[in-house]
Amino acid sequence: SSSATPSLAPSAHTLRRSYGSESTPERKVAVLGAAGGIGQPLSLLMKLNPLVSRLSLYDIAGTPGVAADVSHINTRAEVTGYASEEQLGLALEGSDVVIIPAGVPRKPGMTRDDLFNINAGIVKSLCTAIAKFCPHAIVNMISNPVNSTVPIAAEVFKKAGTYDEKKLFGVTTLDVLRAKTFYAGKAGSIPAATNVPVVGGHAGITILPLFSQATPASNLSTEDIKALTKRTQDGGTEVVEAKAGKGSATLSMAYAGAIFADACLKGLNGVPDIVECSFVQSSVTELPFFASKVRLGKNGVEEVLGLGPLSGYEKEGLENLKPELRASIEKGIKFAREN
C-alpha cells in the first residue's frame, strides 16, 4: 500500500517470492527520454527493481552511453538501448509499462504550462507510437504539464481506437513525497511512516494535499497547514529556483517515478492492496481527469477511490483549483484534436 516504501534493492528473497503460484513474471518496462535528467536515475532505479525482466531505454540523444552503463549492473533486467525514431517500435514492442519523462523542463520564471508548446508535440508523437506498438501497455506520464499531457495521451489513444482509461496515469507521486516529507518535518513523524494523500492535478494550486487525512495525525495549527500546503504546491518551483536554470527536479522525480512504476508492476502481478495517488480519468469530481487515490490491479486501475472527508480549507482549495485544472485539461484535448 502507499504506506510502505517499496524496496528498490534486489534481493534473492524478493526474486523467489511468488505471487499466487508462479515465480515473478516477465515484465518489460520502457523509459522514453531515458538519457535525460530524470531518465538516467529512473533507468538506474528500474534496473534495480527485481520485478523488471527487460528494460528498454529510448531517447533521441545519448541513449547508447546510458544503456551500456546501466546494463553492467548485475540485476535481473536485461537492458537494451534504442537511439533513434526508427527504433522506437522495437523499444516499445511487448512493453507492460511505458514511463515517459521525455520533454523540456522549466527554468526559473516559467510555469509548467509554458512547456506546453514543446512537450505537447513530443507526448503526442510518443503516444501515437505506443498505440501502434504496445497498445495494451500501462502508461506513466511524467512529462509536463501533466494536467494537459494526460488528456493529450487519452485523445491520441482514442483516435487510434486503443484507449483504455484503466491504463493511463499522470505521475503525481512527487507531490505525495513532498507532502509526506514536509508534514513529517513539521509534525515530528517518521518520514517513511508518514502518509498524506494529494489530489487534484500537478501544477500550482491544482496540487491539493489533504493534510486533514495525514497519518500519523497531529494537531498542527491552521497556519502550519496553510504553510505546508503552499510549500507542497510550490515544491517544483523551489527546486527550479535552487537549480537556477539547470532544470527542475530530477533525482526526487526519478525516485517518485520508480515508486509509481513499482506499484503498477505489483498491481499487474496481482499483489493486493496497492494504492497510490495518480492523475487519471475520474468521476470523483465533475472534471474528466483528476488525481486521487487509485487501487492498482492486473488491468491497471482497479478502483478510483473517493476523496474522503475534507476540512473546510481543503473544500475551499478543491473549488479554487477546478477552473485552472479544467482549462489545462481542455487545452490538452483541443491540441490533440486539432493536431
Footprint of ligand NAD on this chain (CB under 6 A)? 32-33, 35-39, 58-61, 101-106, 115, 119, 122, 126, 142-144, 146, 171, 174, 202, 247-250, 253
Q: Which stretch in 37-45, 154-162, 235-243, 319-327 sits in contact with ligand LMR by CB under 6 A? A: 235-243
- C-alpha cell belonging to residue 154: 487519452
153 labeled binding residue: no
Which residues lie closer than 8 Å to 106 by C-beta, 6 or more apart? 112, 114, 115, 144, 236, 240, 247, 248
CB of 28 to ligand NAD, least distance (A): 17
Stretch that binds ligand LMR, among 68-76, 105-113, 263-271, 300-308 (CB under 6 A): 105-113
35 annotated as belonging to a binding site for a ligand: yes
- 147 vs 189, beta carbon nearer ligand NAD: 147
Specify the DSSP class assigned to residue 112. G
Place of cell 492535478: 201
| Annotated binding residue 106 | yes
Should residue 236 be labelled a site residue for ligand LMR when binding is judged by CB under 6 A?
yes
| Among 27, 47, 76, 106, interactor with ligand LMR by CB under 6 A | 106
In contact, 328 and 145? CB cutoff 8 Å:
yes
- Cβ partners under 8 Å of residue 287, min gap 6: 322, 325, 326, 329
Q: What phi and psi values does residue 8 have, to the nearest 5 degrees? A: -95, -5
Which phi-psi region, left, alpha or beta, contains residue 205 (left: φ > 0; alpha: ψ -120 to 50)? alpha
What are the C-alpha distances in Å from 23 to residues 16, 28, 56, 78, 271?
6, 16, 22, 18, 13
3-state class (DSSP) for residue 5: coil
Q: Closest separation between CB of residue 240 and ligand LMR, Å?
A: 5
Is 202 a known active-site residue?
yes
Determine if residue 320 is labeled as part of a ligand binding site.
no
Sole binder of ligand LMR in the list 2, 119, 181, 248 (CB under 6 A): 248
Whether 247 has a binding-site annotation, put simply, is no
Count CA atoms within 13 Å of residue 176 on its CB side. 31
Q: For residues 62 and 288, which CB has a smaller minimum distance to ligand NAD in the complex?
A: 62
Provide the minimum distance between the beta carbon of 313 and ligand NAD in the complex, in angstroms, as a whole number: 24
102 binds, among ligand LMR, ligand NAD, none (CB under 5 to 8 A by kind): ligand NAD
On whether 164 is known to bind a ligand per the annotation, the reply is no
Closest to ligand NAD by CB, 149 or 269: 149
> Could you tell me which of 40, 78, 93 has the C-alpha nearest to residue 62?
40
Q: Are 135 and 96 in contact (CB under 8 A)?
A: no
Q: Which residues are annotated as a binding site for substrate?
A: 106, 112, 144, 178
- Which residues are annotated as catalytic? 202
Contacts to ligand LMR by CB under 6 A: 105-106, 112, 144, 174, 235-236, 239-240, 248-249
